[in-house]
Amino acid sequence: MGFLDSLKNFFASPAPSGSGNFITFKIMCDRCGEEINVKLRRTSDISRIYEDEENPCNASFFVRKEILGNKCNNLIFLTAYFGENFNLISSEITGGKFVD
């Protein structure tokens, strides 16, 4: 390994680890039964809740997502609230259900 390679490795950002940056939900469509994996990126899909905003369960983060599968045109709505460490506090879904 030459000097330029070691310099490149020093300044390169580390590769993202497996699922550490994502929160995944597995959802089943009520209409067609399709199973959909929904990956939410912690840095862009999930929003912080500030003190002056409505916060029904003392959460720190929330997401509202509209999900459309490949088999039918049923729109699924997901709302989830997370704690400071992105632990799930509450979630609600219409048009589908959660798969364990």
Per domain, the residue ranges of the chain are: 18-98
pTM of the predicted protein model:
0.74
For 3, the 3-state DSSP assignment is helix
- φ, ψ of residue 98 to 5 degrees: the values are -80, 140
pLDDT band at 13 (very low <50, low <70, confident <90, very high): very low
Write the pLDDT tens digit of every residue in 32-86.
Answer: 999 999 999 999 999 999 887 777 788 999 999 999 999 999 999 999 999 999 9
The pLDDT value recorded for residue 58 is 86
For 86, the 3-state DSSP assignment is coil
Task: Examine the pLDDT at 16 and tell me if it is beyond 80.
Answer: no
Amino acid at 3: F
DSSP of 58-69:
--SEEEEEEEE-
- φ, ψ of residue 7 to 5 degrees: the values are -65, -40
For 93, the 3-state DSSP assignment is strand
Category of 33 on φ-ψ map: left (φ > 0), alpha (ψ -120 to 50) or beta: left
